[in-house]
Chains A and B, each alone.
Chain A
């Protein structure tokens, strides 16, 4: 790891100032798992590292009197996964947090860090490949190995966004708060992410000096507010791994009939991928094996697999079907054994 200056700001204003002074050469340290990995592989070599952990109060998880939830960007994944009320009200979010990495990773990894993770693409992580995302002129997946890459929304880069938390939070209608030199922004988490066709150097709208401080979830997306949610993830290595495909669903049900739905996929596109096609295929219908399968097919209708990742299509379809059926208590969609 290259040497860097270490800055411990007392508050957010000092943190944004230090980042702005660093003019793009200063990096934010939260849990540090992704950042130190990138620095060791020399993907980034910041001149300064700004430690957000010295800013107080960024790690709170609290329910407001109206039943909505605020999660500080520095809350650890372990604290999200273990929060009893959060687990009851927003099960998809707790399930997603629990599915990240291992015990050691969840003890340190933060919500903000998970949402702002950089891609795990092997060409991006390789110090030997100057790929599109690193200012080069080719996305090596188009000529090389594309096993873990995008089937939706790709081009000109075909990375997939690695966050498990993001699909679950978007399914639960989350908003994200960003503080920066130009003040505070509050926007739907869905709009926080941008496709490579819009921006290549980063997966989010974040500009230098901007810091994610919080995500908030409305009461209407909670169990108390009448929404059921669920997160499913399929990974190659069961002990701990990034998702090959993940899906988060949030449904409002009257009996078995669905009045509103959110279906968000992870691991298939350069951003968390909300499938409005799947949502409209299930809304105002009753959920059963046939309608769930139809919604799953709609979600993948536009998929265009690369040389080595066609397997993700049936995988995603199965996960969507299962998630819809399980959320509506209609079994798992699997043949009885």
Chain B
């Protein structure tokens, strides 16, 4: 799948360019538009060395070169937030970050949230409360919510609203998403905490 996408995006024949040797620290000089340089990416705890041209965004590299298609293409202009990933632990828009700028910096995508077969508490809570409908915004929201809980383990509703304000969801109306983040936060203190019995649609039994 990733290969197919790549071929379609780069439909023009690629010039076979040499690959600049990567030096420690800064690159030695300008990177030619048609050259690719080695980029060391630390994604979800794994190291990758890949060759990329300057115009490729982090989002394109994650999806097309590394096959990590959990992070979604959205508006491409910074309006929707669905491409949110964590760079150096803070949420950024991967569609507006150049790959070359992410050299040697840790990246966490939605694929990196689970601990092996165990979903992240946020993922558990989202599943349990049905906080995703079409799911297209969910990867970005999970990443933004993870950064929030790491900075503020017990956020109130306003803090959650603010932290997720850059992530558009056109299905849920957000209430279930806020409740799921609250439940995940609560479970950090009380691992067996149950979801609220009151829901938008009446009492849960």
Contact = CB atoms under 8 A, between A and B. Distances in A.
Interface residues of A, number: 32
Given A8-B27, A53-B101, A107 B33 contact: no
A49 interface: yes
Interface in B50-65: 53-55, 57
Given A36-B96, A103-B144, A104-B92, A6 B81 contact: no
A23 interface: no
Interface in A25-75: 29, 32-33, 36-37, 40-41, 47-49, 51, 53-54
B93 interface: yes
Chain B CB count within 10 A is highest, among A1, A10, A104, for A104
Contacts of B42: none
Nearest to B34: A3
Contacts of B95: 36
The SS class assigned to the A binding surface is mixed
Contact of B26 (A8, A33, A40, A103): A8
A40 B54 contact: no
Contacts of A311: none
A41 B162 CA distance: 29
Nearest to A29: B98
A169 B107 CA distance: 34
Given A6-B100, A103-B144, A104-B144, A40 B77 contact: yes
Interface in B119-174: 144, 147, 162-163, 165-167
A5 B57 contact: no
Contacts of B47: none
Interface in B18-69: 26-27, 30-34, 53-55, 57
Nearest to A41: B77
A102 interface: yes
B106 interface: no
Contact of A5 (B33, B84, B101): B33
Interface in B158-204: 162-163, 165-167
A80 B55 CA distance: 29
Given A33-B78, A240-B166, A104 B91 contact: yes
A37 to B, nearest CB: 5
Given A3-B33, A33-B78, A240-B166, A105 B93 contact: yes
A119 to B, nearest CB: 14
A37 B78 contact: yes
A1 B166 CA distance: 23
A107 B55 contact: no
A7 B166 contact: no
Interface of B: 26-27, 30-34, 53-55, 57, 76-78, 81, 84, 90-93, 95-98, 100-101, 144, 147, 162-163, 165-167
The 8 closest A-B pairs by CB, nearest first: A102-B166, A6-B54, A3-B33, A239-B165, A6-B31, A7-B30, A104-B166, A37-B77
7 contacts: A4-B54, A5-B32, A10-B26, A41-B77, A53-B101, A102-B81, A108-B93
Interface of A: 1-8, 10, 18, 29, 32-33, 36-37, 40-41, 47-49, 51, 53-54, 101-105, 107-108, 239-240
